Structure 1
Amino acid sequence: MKNIWTIFSTDWKNIATNWVAALLIGGLTILPSLYAWFNIEASWDPYSQTDQLPVGVVNEDKGATIRDKEIDVGKELVTKLKKDDNFDWQFTTKDKAMDKLEYGDYYAVIVIPENFSEKLSTVMNDEPEKSQVQYYVNEKVNAIAPKITEKGASVIVDQITSNFVSEVNGTIAELFNDLGVELEKDLPDIKQFEEYVFKLEKNLPEIHDLISSSYNDSKRVSTIINDVQGLLPQAKNVTNQGLNTIDETTAFLKEAEQRLNELAPKVEEDLKKAQQTAQDVNAFLSEARSADIDLSSSKAIKDQISKQTKESNQQLEEIEKLLQQLKEQQQNSQSGNETNGEQGEGNNASQQSIDQAIKEVQAIQESLSNIQSDSTELETLLSEQQGEIDDTLKTLQNKSKSTADQIDAFVKEYNNNIEPKVLAEIESAKQTLQNARSILGEVQSTIPEVERILANTEGNIAEGQDILEYMLNEYPYVNAKVNELADRIRDIQGETDINEIIELLKNDPAAEQNFFAEPVQLNKNALFPIENYGTGMTPFYTVLSLWVGALLLVSLLSTEPHHSNVHRNYERYFGKLATFISIGILQTLVVTLGNIFLLQIGITETIPFIAFGLLISVVFMTIVYTLVSVFGDVGKATAIVILVLQIAGSGGTYPVALLPEFFQSIHPFLPFTYAVDLMREAVGGMVKARVQTDLLYLLGFLLLFLSIGTFLKGPLSKGTKKLTKKSRESGLFH
């Protein structure tokens, strides 16, 4: 231990007594801090200086028209960029801008093409096209500048996009607001439409049944029409025959009426004669009763009565024949009416009157026959007994009187009822036949129209059958779609309320436009705030300066003591190590205190920052010194190689996740990894667990290289000396 102290104290005594050595050591103490300070200052806040980067802007946009509204996005962008100081915007032509970019005067050029606004306007078309901004960059001018200018170009695109989205969404918001108002007005109709859909869904089976029934009925109607069309010729014939029959019956009635008019006077005359005969018989019998009857003249009386009754019977028979003829005429008339579909109720009444008249005539004939028989009986009685003559005459008188009365009553009945009724019925039958003929005439004239209608109806029914058949074929599709629509409406009703949709659509267009101009605001919440980029790079450059300081020391100072009385390798190792560490501590105090007070870096934990720096300096100096002390010039080269690997693989500048796989794999084995992380904890704010981890790993590196120096310096010293001697013999190394 004494020898170690002797080596250490002697080195500092020599420094203190030799002004050149003191000056060199002073330079080695300050020089590493300059390396850190210059780099930190240079990277203090480079992004705040982008206004000095010249970027060319070329506007070739010719504008466009959207719904009668002129737009010129390129012109608006130029106006805004002239007020923007993020970059040194240079507005020029494309040729001049490309020349300056190629020469290096511009770091980038942004070109707005002539169809920029035109393509933006296609947003209103069915197939919108994206507008493009051409961005040119000269990447050989600087490694970082293209990334910065690219960020500027992105800002321009984002600004255009934001403004465009704001305008478009403002327009859409106005349309949505109008749509919401219209929906609110049409809400009763929408509700009614929903009810219609549900009602249609419910009634579709019944509609299907009706269509099927109509289709079947149309087939039956077609058959009926065909049958009717087949019967029309027969109907024509029947109508023509009916008209002929009516004409014949009318003519027959006229003839009957004329005959009746001709017979009526004769019938009346014959009835009067029969009545007079009955009266004469009655008068004759009265005289016969009142006078003495000559029985010998009974035969004459009988002959007289027989003659008169015979004449009356002949007259009555003539009347009966006329009535029979009239009856036949009435029956013929009735038969004609029935053939033409007429009901002859009046004819029936007339026939009943004629039949009654015939019966009455037959009754009178019978009475006259009785009188004639009685007259025969009178003759017989006169020959037998006179006493009964009076009774017989009385009976004859009564019968003749009754007959006369019957004839008288029949005459009145004939004159008052039979003849007028028969004439009236004939006239009624003629009128009925005339009406029937008029109807049949209309039927006859209507048959061609019926034929035409039936032909048209047959065509319409055929067309209707096609439509009904099409409807039946399409029914499954319609049924499925209506049910699908109804289910969708029910789903929508279950998922949301149309009133909520209306409220969603109704909005303030200006507020919506402002919202879409910046729909998301980024609120930065820094967990461990860092003032600027230079502060963030302070841990890396500080640690790097400590390693560089160690390299400078081993390059200029000897790692071997010049005291010949010290022979133990570990004493020589630790003696010179103490000198190197002491100088490294001075380097660390200069750089850390300079960061705090000279650069005024915002360090959260100043005391830990200095303490961590001192520990890191001890670890780094031990590593570098041990490599050179044990391995000589090979150790120097090894220390430089480790430095290079640590700059790239420690994650001091770029996140480890962005590094190549090789550097990611060596990252956990590099002292820089834990030194930079430990200094970051002091600069930004400490997490105790990370500090403990970093300290453990750094102490582990310290113990490792102390062990190497302690146990390997002696065994490897002879070989190291030979390598050093051999290298110096070349005249290239000192």
Structure 2
Amino acid sequence: MPDSSRNPLTLARFELRRFKGPLPRLALAFILVVPMLYGCIYLAGNWDPYGRLNQVPVAVVNHDVPTAVNGKEVSAGRDFVDSLHRSGTFAFADASSADAEAGLERGDFYLVITVPESFSRDLVSAKDLDPRRASIELRRNDANGFVIGTITNSAQNSIARAIDETAVRSYFEAVFANLDTIRGGMQKAADGAARLDEGLATAHDGSSALVSGLHTLRSGAAKLSEGAGQVADGTAQLADVVDPVLSAAAERLPEAQKKVQDAADRAADLTAAVADDAARLDDVSSSLSDDLDALLADHPELADDPVVARLSTHAAKLGAFTSSAAEKAAKVADDVAAADTRLHSLGDLSAKATSAKEKVDALRDGAAKVSDGAATLRDGIAEAAEGGDALDDGLAQLSEGAHTLATELAAGAARIPVLTAAEQDDAVTVMSAPVDVTMQVDNPAHVNGRGLAPMFFSIALWMFGISAFFLLRPITGRVLAARGSDLRIGLTAWGTLAATSVVASWIMLAVAWIGLGIAPVHPWLLIALTTLVALAFSAIAHLLRTWLGLVATAGMLLLLILQLTAAGGTYPPEMLPPFFASLGRFMPMRYSIEAFRIAISGGLMSRFVLDVALLALVLLSSVVLLLVVVHRRRRFSMKDLHPPFG
């Protein structure tokens, strides 16, 4: 007959035979479903809470007063509320302020959204000099539950997007409402610019004619100035000749009567020449006056031009001077003739000679003034011609600019689209939300429960190591006293817990798979991983219980608490405080959670292999340490015979 002390299976059967009767077996069955209770019940209750957000009641209070922009009504508050109802994110309900406040206090509403009276007015205030930001009030009551408060708080981003869409929609509605006005204004401006172009073209033609006339007048003025200079020279010559003669005549008239007669003849010749020059100068002056009159008749707008006025004045003075010169020259001739006839009859000609000299001097002075006036007239007309050239060039540039302005305004008005009401609505819809943002998720968890399963599977298998010892014994004196190696005794002691742990983990996995629909991406890897984690965690639990006894329960709970905070089951390590982030590297649950994620939802297989290797190392290390503890326990002492905690 084989030695039962050497057969681990026989020793394990002896341990399980203790559970006789319905209650002990029921207790054993309960222990087997503990991982299922921890790992599946919570997941079942929270499998997809975000899929039922549309059942969360949220009150919407709309106090907005519509406003008008360019005769078109803008009701941004109503549009915002309509967009909330269309989104279906929550169970939005329109309510008054009093009902919303009372419902929030009683828990009938988890969030109250209030649209103020000035919402529409503030949204369109950008067109004014005092733009204002529109506001929306969100109010929650954490007495109704902090978690639901954080969930509703996450709706702030979607509400902000809805507000932005409403604001942009209101803005573009106002813009499209102004398109017809803008187009009409640009067309009127284009028509006005075209008329300006035509007027400037006409003015340019007139300025060209004016410049031509001024150049003709300039030529005539030059001739007039030249003739006036000749008259001045002639009168100066006359004075030079007559003055000495008259002076000498006054002194020596009795002795030089014959010479006076000769001088009178010569003076008559000179006065005749002066008269001829004055006549020619008068013709030039008359021609200049006629040209000015013709120019003013063709261009009456030049009547007020100061240059033309100066030309007319100088021309009139020139005519007066030439007439005066001619008259004086004729008078000198008459005087000379009279002097000749009276020379013999008059006794004292000295005074008359002096008078004649003065008149000749006056003629010389008048001719000089005529010459100076003609020069001034010539210079003034030259300045007028230069100004006319500048005016003609400026009008040409203005005409070209007006033509360009009219062309561009007409083209701009043509580019402004003419939209129907339906086209405007379509354009407003697209431009108020011009971008569709899509999120691509690699290895998606799909639902909340599927994402939390890795952490709760790990917690459930760890808790089994704590609760199993309410019924199972880590090791018995009979096993310790049995003959066999430490390896055989250690594996025998751990075998019962390991077997029940694996069975319990498979029950948990079956319920999650069939009952909840966890649908792992790598099913066989998930089964193998669940088995490995069950063995590793049970080995840790058995090691601590065999080593520390009942105190190990407190140690297992402490390790569980530390792993819940440091393993990164809910938040990534980067979001944890530095102490817990560093501690998590040494926690086996961190690697079980990461491996479960990859087996359930998919991920990097190299990380999965590393996690499995680390869990296998934990299992192997725990078994080795268990053998060390078993070896020490097989050396009995008084403490073993009378344990402190029974």
- Larger mean CA deviation between 28-37 and 574-583 belongs to 28-37
Residue number among 253, 257, 261 corresponding to 1:326 in the alignment: 261
C-alpha contact 2:168 2:432 (8 A) present in aligned 1: yes
Alignment partner, residue 324 of structure 2: none
User: What secondary structure is seen at the aligned counterpart in 1 of 2:618?
Assistant: helix
Aligned amino acid, residue 516 of structure 2: L
Alignment partner, residue 333 of structure 2: 426
Residue number among 502, 507, 510 corresponding to 1:585 in the alignment: 502
Alignment partner, residue 670 of structure 1: 587
Residue number among 31, 36, 40 corresponding to 2:39 in the alignment: 36
Q: What displacement does 1:427 show?
A: 5.2
Superposed CA offset, 1:551-597 (max 9, x none): 11023322122527427766543322100000001101101122222
Rate the CA distance shift 1:719–1:135 in 2: closer, same or farther, 3 A.
Answer: farther
Alignment partner, residue 121 of structure 1: 124
CA–CA separation in structure 2 for the residues paired with 1:105 and 1:594: 35
Aligned amino acid, residue 582 of structure 1: A
Structure 2 counterparts to residues 423-572 of structure 1, below 5 A: 426=333, 440=366, 513-561=428-476, 563=478, 565-566=481-482, 571-572=488-489
Alignment partner, residue 638 of structure 1: 555
User: What secondary structure is seen at the aligned counterpart in 1 of 2:144?
Assistant: coil
Residue number among 1, 7, 11 corresponding to 2:15 in the alignment: 11
User: What secondary structure is seen at the aligned counterpart in 2 of 1:111?
Assistant: strand
User: What secondary structure is seen at the aligned counterpart in 2 of 1:65?
Assistant: strand
Superposed CA offset, 1:115-160 (max 9, x none): 1111111121344221111111112422321122123343222112
C-alpha contact 1:7 1:561 (8 A) present in aligned 2: no
TM-score by length of 2: 0.62
Q: What displacement does 1:34 show?
A: 2.2
User: What secondary structure is seen at the aligned counterpart in 2 of 1:521?
Assistant: coil
Superposed CA offset, 1:597-654 (max 9, x none): 2222221121221111011100010011111111112211111111111122212222
Q: What displacement does 1:688 show?
A: 2.5
Q: What displacement does 1:434 show?
A: 11
Aligned amino acid, residue 637 of structure 1: A
Root-mean-square deviation (Å)? 4.8
User: What secondary structure is seen at the aligned counterpart in 1 of 2:68?
Assistant: strand
Q: What displacement does 1:53 show?
A: 1.7
CA–CA separation in structure 1 for the residues paired with 2:21 and 2:451: 40
C-alpha contact 1:119 1:129 (8 A) present in aligned 2: yes
CA–CA separation in structure 1 for the residues paired with 2:41 and 2:136: 39
Q: What displacement does 1:425 show?
A: 9.4
Structure 2 counterparts to residues 229-244 of structure 1, below 5 A: none
Aligned amino acid, residue 262 of structure 2: K
C-alpha contact 1:342 1:436 (8 A) present in aligned 2: no
Rate the CA distance shift 1:682–1:647 in 2: closer, same or farther, 3 A.
Answer: same
C-alpha contact 2:529 2:596 (8 A) present in aligned 1: yes
Superposed CA offset, 1:510-531 (max 9, x none): 5764443333323333322333
Rate the CA distance shift 1:324–1:344 in 2: closer, same or farther, 3 A.
Answer: farther
TM-score by length of 1: 0.55
CA–CA separation in structure 2 for the residues paired with 1:22 and 1:704: 32
Aligned amino acid, residue 40 of structure 2: W
Rate the CA distance shift 1:683–1:643 in 2: closer, same or farther, 3 A.
Answer: same
* Structure 1 unaligned spans of 5+: 190-238, 257-318, 347-422, 455-500, 729-733
Rate the CA distance shift 1:685–1:83 in 2: closer, same or farther, 3 A.
Answer: closer
Q: What displacement does 1:727 show?
A: 5.7
Matched, 1:160 2:163: yes
Rate the CA distance shift 1:101–1:115 in 2: closer, same or farther, 3 A.
Answer: same
Choose 1 or 2 for highest CA Rg.
Answer: 1
Report the identity percentage.
20
Structure 2 counterparts to residues 648-667 of structure 1, below 5 A: 648-667=565-584
Aligned amino acid, residue 461 of structure 2: L
Q: How many residues align?
A: 474
CA–CA separation in structure 2 for the residues paired with 1:570 and 1:553: 22
Superposed CA offset, 1:360-379 (max 9, x none): xxxxxxxxxxxxxxxxxxxx
User: What secondary structure is seen at the aligned counterpart in 2 of 1:654?
Assistant: coil
Residue number among 59, 73, 89 corresponding to 1:56 in the alignment: 59
C-alpha contact 1:677 1:694 (8 A) present in aligned 2: yes
Q: What displacement does 1:182 show?
A: 7.6
C-alpha contact 1:632 1:724 (8 A) present in aligned 2: no
CA–CA separation in structure 2 for the residues paired with 1:556 and 1:505: 86
Alignment partner, residue 573 of structure 1: 490
CA–CA separation in structure 2 for the residues paired with 1:721 and 1:637: 24
CA–CA separation in structure 1 for the residues paired with 2:277 and 2:118: 102
CA–CA separation in structure 2 for the residues paired with 1:324 and 1:581: 170
C-alpha contact 1:6 1:575 (8 A) present in aligned 2: no
Rate the CA distance shift 1:504–1:677 in 2: closer, same or farther, 3 A.
Answer: farther
Aligned amino acid, residue 94 of structure 1: S
Aligned amino acid, residue 566 of structure 1: A
Alignment partner, residue 402 of structure 2: none
CA–CA separation in structure 1 for the residues paired with 2:496 and 2:580: 34
User: What secondary structure is seen at the aligned counterpart in 2 of 1:128?
Assistant: coil
CA–CA separation in structure 2 for the residues paired with 1:687 and 1:440: 118
Residue number among 591, 606, 613 corresponding to 1:689 in the alignment: 606
Aligned amino acid, residue 325 of structure 1: V
Rate the CA distance shift 1:663–1:715 in 2: closer, same or farther, 3 A.
Answer: same
CA–CA separation in structure 1 for the residues paired with 2:614 and 2:416: 62
CA–CA separation in structure 2 for the residues paired with 1:621 and 1:36: 16
CA–CA separation in structure 1 for the residues paired with 2:470 and 2:415: 76
Aligned amino acid, residue 702 of structure 1: L
Alignment partner, residue 72 of structure 1: 75
Q: What displacement does 1:331 show?
A: 6.1
CA–CA separation in structure 2 for the residues paired with 1:428 and 1:710: 166
CA–CA separation in structure 2 for the residues paired with 1:531 and 1:424: 129
User: What secondary structure is seen at the aligned counterpart in 1 of 2:142?
Assistant: coil
Rate the CA distance shift 1:441–1:158 in 2: closer, same or farther, 3 A.
Answer: same
Rate the CA distance shift 1:573–1:552 in 2: closer, same or farther, 3 A.
Answer: same
Q: What displacement does 1:533 show?
A: 1.6
C-alpha contact 1:531 1:602 (8 A) present in aligned 2: no
Q: What displacement does 1:320 show?
A: 11
Residue number among 10, 13, 21 corresponding to 2:24 in the alignment: 21
C-alpha contact 1:573 1:713 (8 A) present in aligned 2: yes
C-alpha contact 1:585 1:618 (8 A) present in aligned 2: yes
Rate the CA distance shift 1:708–1:171 in 2: closer, same or farther, 3 A.
Answer: same
Aligned amino acid, residue 123 of structure 2: L
Q: What displacement does 1:325 show?
A: 3.5
Rate the CA distance shift 1:513–1:83 in 2: closer, same or farther, 3 A.
Answer: closer
C-alpha contact 2:125 2:131 (8 A) present in aligned 1: yes
User: What secondary structure is seen at the aligned counterpart in 1 of 2:146?
Assistant: coil
Residue number among 144, 149, 155 corresponding to 1:141 in the alignment: 144
Matched, 1:706 2:623: yes
Alignment partner, residue 353 of structure 1: none
Rate the CA distance shift 1:577–1:117 in 2: closer, same or farther, 3 A.
Answer: same
User: What secondary structure is seen at the aligned counterpart in 1 of 2:474?
Assistant: coil
Rate the CA distance shift 1:325–1:521 in 2: closer, same or farther, 3 A.
Answer: closer
* Structure 2 unaligned spans of 5+: 194-231, 279-329, 338-355, 381-411
User: What secondary structure is seen at the aligned counterpart in 2 of 1:536?
Assistant: helix
CA–CA separation in structure 1 for the residues paired with 2:156 and 2:335: 114
Rate the CA distance shift 1:519–1:721 in 2: closer, same or farther, 3 A.
Answer: farther
